[in-house]
Amino acid sequence: MKTENIMLSSDRRSVVILDQTQLPNRTEYLTLNTAGEMYDAIFRLKVRGAPAIGIFAAYGIYCLSRQIAEKEYDGFYKKFAEYADYLESSRPTAVNLSWALGRMRQTAERNKERPVEELVELLGQEAEKIQKEDIDMCRRISEYGLTLIKDGDGILTHCNAGPLATSRYGTALGPVLLGREKNMNFHVFVDETRPLLQGARLTAYELLKADVDATLICDNMASSVMKKGWVKACFVGCDRIAANGDTANKVGTSGVAILAKYYGIPFYVLGPTSTIDMSCRSGEDIKIELRDGEEIKKKYYEKPMAPEDIKCYNPAFDVTDHELITAIITERGILRAPYTKSIAEIMK
Ligand code: MRU
């Protein structure tokens, strides 16, 4: 399966990605062969966005499996599991990473009786299936999401949950991109998304490319545009949804939800059901990634913009309380409160 941002090389030995850290200035593709390079690509956000890192890891473990010399299942599986655990440890919050690697593990375990070479090919097929399913899921999420807005609406989004973060359409940007294909016009307010600027660098880039009317704002301006009545709905993605509907997404999302509640604006979370983690009862159980404070002080500045010795706290995600969420839009439908009930039903 070939899409723009994540694909297999023609010899199916490496994963090729569009390096998201270089956007919007450079379109640079990276060819990744080793487990270390793959770990690094996820950790440094060269590939990022919950569904995208799951798809990438599935292709990654397939390519690594092809490099394993062991032809006996037990020896093969030991090495395979080591690689899978290593990739899984690259980022903790997005459940799609462990979900996709879990599917690859199950494929290996279910086919243990087959010759290793055949099993490896089945792993390749499973990775392609995960990507294909993601395209379908994004399409369905986009269709459901589009029913919640009307032509001309102003939408506010945080971080990047567009095609780069998935495979096609994206989740939070999906309804807008699908609507644009149908000649509808929305106006999107794009939070820049400090400190790594996924909104400014990636969402703004994707929306301009799709000819969507978009305005970039700093994160602390969301309240101003809401107060002016310019925002009719907030659309955000998600990295992990707990069984009660509490949702982890890029840090700053919960603040947007609180503002939206104050101004009476619907706040929608869009994501595939693979993002729902029934083992987390609430947001309290979701592990939040803490990243290096250097990202706050220096990243993307020509010179450091803070004293070198200042302490930093840099959580990459935060949890939006389910009470602030108007609806959760999945590929299986639109979920409303009480989420403990609607999520349990859809996950049956
Ligand atoms: O740290 P990132 O850039 O990987 O964070 C990504 C987000 O928070 C996205 O909103 C989320 O993964 C959903 S992507 C469809």
pLDDT tens by residue, 259-283: 999 999 999 999 999 999 999 999 9
Tell me, using a 6 A CB cutoff, whether residue 194 lines ligand 1.
Answer: no
Report the distance separating Cα 18 and Cα 7, nearest Å. Answer: 9
Tell me, using a 6 A CB cutoff, whether residue 49 lines ligand 1.
Answer: yes
- pLDDT category of residue 167 using cuts at 50, 70 and 90: confident
- pLDDT category of residue 1 using cuts at 50, 70 and 90: very low
Q: Which of 164, 265, 155 is nearest to 213 (CA)?
A: 155
**Are 266 and 334 contacting, i.e. CB atoms less than 8 angstroms apart?**
no
In angstroms, what CA-CA distances link 208 with 33, 197, 303? 32, 16, 29
Report the distance separating Cα 150 and Cα 185, nearest Å. Answer: 9
- Ligand 1 atom with the shortest distance to the CA of 249: 8
Contacts 24+ apart (CB under 8 A), 31-39: 32/60, 32/63, 33/63, 35/60, 35/64, 35/83, 35/86, 35/87, 38/64, 38/87, 39/86, 39/87, 39/89, 39/90
Q: To test the ligand 1 pocket, which listed residue (134, 238, 274, 276) has its Cβ within 8 A of the most ligand atoms?
A: 238
Q: To test the ligand 1 pocket, which listed residue (95, 249, 331) has its Cβ within 8 A of the most ligand atoms?
A: 249
* Residue of the CA atom closest to atom 10 of ligand 1: 237
268: Cβ–Cβ under 8 A, 6 or more apart, which residues?
145, 148, 172, 233, 234, 235, 236, 325, 326, 327, 328, 329
Residue 68 alpha carbon to ligand 1 centre in Å: 32
**Are 21 and 45 contacting, i.e. CB atoms less than 8 angstroms apart?**
yes
The pLDDT, as a whole number, for residue 258 is 98
* Residue of the CA atom closest to atom 8 of ligand 1: 250
Q: Is 219 a catalytic residue?
A: no
Residue 316 alpha carbon to ligand 1 centre in Å: 9
Tell me, using a 6 A CB cutoff, whether residue 238 lines ligand 1.
Answer: yes
87: enclosing H helix or E strand? helix 73-88
Please pick, among 191, 239, 246, 318, the residue that the annotation labels catalytic: 239
Which domains are present in the chain? 6-138 (1.20.120.420), 150-346 (3.40.50.10470)
Please determine, for residue 2, whether its predicted confidence score (pLDDT) is greater than 50.
no
The torsion angles phi and psi of 302, rounded to 5 degrees, stand at -70, -40
Amino acid at 55: I
The pLDDT, as a whole number, for residue 228 is 98
Q: What is the pLDDT of residues 315-331, one digit of tens each?
A: 999 999 999 999 999 99
Report the distance separating Cα 159 and Cα 204, nearest Å. Answer: 10
Q: What is the pLDDT of residues 131-160, one digit of tens each?
A: 999 999 999 999 999 999 999 999 999 999
- Ligand 1 atom with the shortest distance to the CA of 162: 15
Tell me, using a 6 A CB cutoff, whether residue 249 lines ligand 1.
Answer: yes
Report the distance separating Cα 174 and Cα 146, nearest Å. Answer: 8
Please determine, for residue 3, whether its predicted confidence score (pLDDT) is greater than 60.
no
Tell me, using a 6 A CB cutoff, whether residue 91 lines ligand 1.
Answer: no
Q: What is the pLDDT of residues 204-256, one digit of tens each?
A: 999 999 999 999 999 999 999 999 999 999 999 999 999 999 999 999 999 99
Tell me, using a 6 A CB cutoff, whether residue 237 lines ligand 1.
Answer: yes
Q: What is the DSSP letter of 302?
A: S
Q: What is the pLDDT of residues 26-63, one digit of tens each?
A: 999 999 999 999 999 999 999 999 999 999 999 999 99
Tell me, using a 6 A CB cutoff, whether residue 198 lines ligand 1.
Answer: yes
**Are 115 and 122 contacting, i.e. CB atoms less than 8 angstroms apart?**
no
Tell me, using a 6 A CB cutoff, whether residue 159 lines ligand 1.
Answer: yes
Residue 164 alpha carbon to ligand 1 centre in Å: 10
**Are 287 and 318 contacting, i.e. CB atoms less than 8 angstroms apart?**
no
Q: What is the DSSP letter of 60?
A: H
The pLDDT, as a whole number, for residue 313 is 97
Q: Which of 157, 166, 159 is nearest to 187 (CA)?
A: 157
Report the distance separating Cα 234 and Cα 261, nearest Å. Answer: 10
Q: What is the pLDDT of residues 73-104, one digit of tens each?
A: 999 999 999 999 999 999 999 999 999 999 99
Please determine, for residue 114, whether its predicted confidence score (pLDDT) is greater than 80.
yes
**Are 20 and 200 contacting, i.e. CB atoms less than 8 angstroms apart?**
no
The pLDDT, as a whole number, for residue 236 is 98
Residue 276 alpha carbon to ligand 1 centre in Å: 14
- The length of the chain is 348
Q: To test the ligand 1 pocket, which listed residue (95, 131, 168, 239) has its Cβ within 8 A of the most ligand atoms?
A: 239
Tell me, using a 6 A CB cutoff, whether residue 163 lines ligand 1.
Answer: no
The pLDDT, as a whole number, for residue 132 is 96
Q: Which of 182, 222, 178, 183 is nearest to 199 (CA)?
A: 222
